[in-house]
Homo-oligomer: A and B are copies of this chain.
């Protein structure tokens, strides 16, 4: 289970929509490609969207060793990592009861910088295979210099929560009989067919991209 405490407990829907189940969190973390990572400097918040990978009970992000943002958080100052997957627009009979079906994840953690070469190499493989499954062995092999100029940060997934809204609109009792259409508009993020760049016009699309 994830750690339930005042920081990971919201003021609203604390009983209906919250989950601290690790499997539920992992499903969101493994589907989402991007998170927003927030940190503070003198109480001024900064937030950066970035790609990430989950492995076990850890979450990983990377970037250039020259990145100002990574340098700010590598020393272990507190961060909040936020993820939101949007499933449906929830159209009710009144504007007030419109909502959104979503699955969100919030993590409070601190970075640990990982300098081990093999761990960094393996992160790159996991990230690449998350973005394009089964593509790692097809690509030009990673160079040692590429691993070396990348910074890898690790975050423990403990102090975290999941919030989910699913299902149909919830209208006021007195609105239910109104002849006004209500329901869901799904808005999935969907991968379309790959488009070759100029260099690849004559290169066959590999199996893993079909």
Contacts and interface: CB of A to CB of B under 8 A. Distances in A.
The contact size tier of chain A is 35 or more
Contact of A195 (B96, B140, B184): B184
Contact of A140 (B94, B140, B191): B94
Contact of A49 (B12, B104, B127, B204): B104
In the complex, the count of this chain's copies comes to 2
A44 B8 CA distance: 13
Contacts of A175: 140
A49 to B, nearest CB: 4
A96 B63 CA distance: 11
A194 B80 CA distance: 34
Given A11-B68, A39-B45, A181-B203, A94 B139 contact: yes
A94 B183 contact: no
Interface string A147-190: 00000000000000000000011010001101111111111111
A142 B142 CA distance: 58
A112 interface: no
A188 to B, nearest CB: 7
Nearest to A184: B195
Given A197-B182, A204-B181, A44 B34 contact: no
Contact of A80 (B45, B146, B169, B188): B45
Given A64-B12, A94-B139, A131-B89, A45 B203 contact: no
B40 A45 contact: yes
Q: Across the A-B interface, give the 10 residue pairs with the lowest CB-CB distance, nearest first.
A: A11-B68, A38-B38, A47-B82, A38-B45, A49-B84, A40-B40, A168-B197, A96-B146, A186-B192, A183-B196
18 contacts: A36-B82, A38-B82, A40-B45, A43-B43, A45-B79, A94-B139, A94-B140, A95-B124, A96-B142, A96-B143, A98-B128, A140-B178, A169-B197, A181-B205, A181-B206, A182-B197, A185-B192, A188-B192
